[in-house]
Structure 1
Amino acid sequence: MPSFSKGSSVMPISRRRLLQGVGAGAALSLAGLPTRLFAQEKIKVAAVYTVPFEQQWVSRLHLAANAAKEAGEIEYVATENVSNTDYERVMREYAEQGYQLILGEVFGVEDEARAVAADYPEVAFLMGSSFPADDAVPNFAPFDNYIQDASYLSGLVAGAMTKTKNIGLVGGFPIPEVNRLMHAFMQGVRETAGDDTKFQVAFIGSWFDPPKAKETAFAQIDAGADILYAERFGVSDAAKERGVLAIGNVIDTQSEYPETVVATALWDFKPTLDKALSEIRAGTFKAADYGVYSFMKEGGCALAPLGTFEDKVPDEVKKLVAEKEEAIRSGNLVVEINDTEPKSS
């Protein structure tokens, strides 16, 4: 693995800038995309992450890629803690070394990342992004963690467990990727706890600052919250110390907090990665919205087993959750995708 410089990651809150780095001159033809591969060939995959491997969101990408590596499907290397100012350089170095798929999250460097993709039409880029797919860059496919289905189910559980009808939510930034999960969670809470439930919503301005998230959670507990939505690391620690409950996000941490984490909306990146790898093997990878592979009906998300809380959650609520999950998987229930910033109420 090449030696890359690493730095701390601070993603800017604004992701909705107009693309400037990719203009009319960046138009590419599908002929530049990778050709069909033989089934036994391993696809060379490189990943560029702005945060540590253990950060919730990135950990799911890293887990899926390592599983594909262990299964003999891919070769895989990755660099963590790449600063936004260094991101483009690391992407280019991987592209120059002949990697066929470059994976990452470019929310703070949208323009730069798409410009890199335009310069390497023979490389497939699968990137976490707030922007839609763009035919002008046909080898750049965006994805996102659309796990609102599982977040809604976790809200049903939380609403049944709250005694104060006061729930705290601690997120990183008020951007679509976080907002939609919070809204879905709150929708579920209202269905089981009532519309009069109070929500305290706060954002810490960082993707990885457990002490700040913990401090923010303490403030919400002091203001009456008896359940915390732990979108960031550090929140469950505060809940554990103060004897209140928490709802997990993206990864299941109940084994670490057996008396604290009631339920978790899990994200599985495998369906997203599998789709990209199959398209690369077929020589048909193109600009497309890969966010749909995070939906529950695609196997991209699920509600974690209740585990230590199996006997503590009311039976009628577990039955309701099962019914709602079946409706989501069948397509009879579509959880709203609301990307607007949630507010305290």
Structure 2
Amino acid sequence: MMKTKNLSRRHFMATTAATSLILGAGRAMAAEPIKTAGIYTVPVEQQWVSRIHKAALAAQGRGDIDYSFSENVSNTDYARVMREYAEAGNTLIIGEVFGAEQEAREVAAEYPNVAFLMGSSFKEDAALSNFSVFDNYIQDASYLSGIIAGAMTESGNIGMVGGFPIPEVNRLMHAFMAGALEMNPDIKFQVSFIGSWFDPPKAKETAFAMIENGVDVLYAERFGVSDAAQEKGILAIGNVIDTQADYPETIVASAIWHFEPTLDKAIAEVQAGSFSAGDYGAYSFMNEGGTSLAPLGTFDGKVPAAALALVAQREAEIRSGAFSVTINDNEPSSS
């Protein structure tokens, strides 16, 4: 359900100011919060969306945006919700259109004075100047978490459970696998996709099957995987968020996504009246502050020193540009 606020004089002025900025008006009115809407196809508690939501709340807290959002929006209803928010005076709309790419771009074309920043598997189109794309290119931290997984497995058998084999999932899995193989070239992988972004029971059952087949470390791309690992007493590597507090004896490390650099760049462009079609993916890279490896926490002192030394070396090289993690968007397969 759409969360709305009463239209006050202040909100009206914010809307007017943000609209003027999109049109290229002067910076004098930029101090007014930009009326911003988030549209999400899953609950805001879901890993990926939670990071967008967190960044938006932070931007609202410092007065940059006036934020409302809708969650659990179906792909078939996405275009309608986009139009409602555009008609309501929002001048920055964020979300994820992986299942509604064409419809979303058609709506954006109808509202050229609204800036759209959308998670997408496709690139920007110069002909649609108000529609920018992003994705969580957190392969840098995924690679580092793979090094740790490669050091922690005893069976040399790692299971990987993902939602869908789309580029933003595939690249993280490949980076994780590459990191694990650098640590231990003999590791084998079991890879499976559950066909859902939010189905913890199915993810858990898939993980159980992998455990029965000999894995002792799981890559938890979806909710539910860590529950299976915890119940069976094996280890897991987290993705996008840090859930070690919930699984203190299970989650060894996690590749964290920080959406703040992506959103902050879009806010600055809207404030300057210079928002245009672009690919914001690079703002998820480690050297932009878009990703990091979560602290080891309860596993401090339990990860082999050789792995930690390699993580430190590779992280320094990634930040300096001396080492680049390969971006492979192809569907991964079991080995």
**Normalization by structure 2: what TM-score?**
0.93
Does residue 102 (structure 1) correspond to residue 93 (structure 2)? The answer is: yes
**Which of 217, 227, 232 does residue 227 from structure 1 map onto?**
217
**Which of 52, 69, 77 does residue 86 from structure 1 map onto?**
77
Q: SS state of the match for residue 308, structure 2? A: helix
After superposition, give the CA deviation of every residue in 1:202-240 in whole Å (9 maximum; x if it has no partner).
Answer: 000000000000000000000000000000000000000
Given the superposition, is the C-alpha separation of residues 277 and 32 from structure 1 closer, same or farther in structure 2, using an over 3 Å criterion? closer
Does residue 192 (structure 1) correspond to residue 183 (structure 2)? The answer is: yes
After superposition, give the CA deviation of every residue in 1:219-262 in whole Å (9 maximum; x if it has no partner).
Answer: 00000000000000000000000000000000000000000000
Q: SS state of the match for residue 77, structure 1? A: strand
Q: Is the 8 A contact 2:22 2:274 kept in 1?
A: no
Q: Which residue of 1 aligns with 2:203?
A: 213
**Which of 232, 243, 250 does residue 260 from structure 1 map onto?**
250
Q: Which residue of 2 aligns with 1:28?
A: none
Q: Which residue of 2 aligns with 1:68?
A: 59
Q: Which residue of 1 aligns with 2:276?
A: 286
Q: Is the 8 A contact 1:36 1:281 kept in 2?
A: no
Q: Which residue of 1 aligns with 2:37?
A: 46
Q: SS state of the match for residue 229, structure 1? A: strand
Counterparts of 1:172 and 1:209 in 2: how far apart (Å)?
9
**Normalization by structure 1: what TM-score?**
0.90
Deviation at 1:34?
A: 5.5
Name the % identity: 68
Query: Structure 1 stretches of 5 or more lacking a match?
Result: 5-30
Deviation at 1:32?
A: 7.1
Q: Which residue of 2 aligns with 1:149?
A: 140
Q: Is the 8 A contact 1:138 1:287 kept in 2?
A: yes
For this pair of structures, how many residues does the alignment match?
Answer: 318
Counterparts of 1:65 and 1:205 in 2: how far apart (Å)?
28
Counterparts of 1:123 and 1:39 in 2: how far apart (Å)?
16
Counterparts of 2:292 and 2:71 in 1: how far apart (Å)?
27
Any runs of at least 4 consecutive aligned residues in structure 1 with deviations exceeding 3 A, and if so which?
1-4, 31-37
Does residue 247 (structure 1) correspond to residue 263 (structure 2)? The answer is: no
Counterparts of 2:26 and 2:214 in 1: how far apart (Å)?
58
Q: Which residue of 2 aligns with 1:273?
A: 263
* Aligned residues: CA RMSD: 1.4
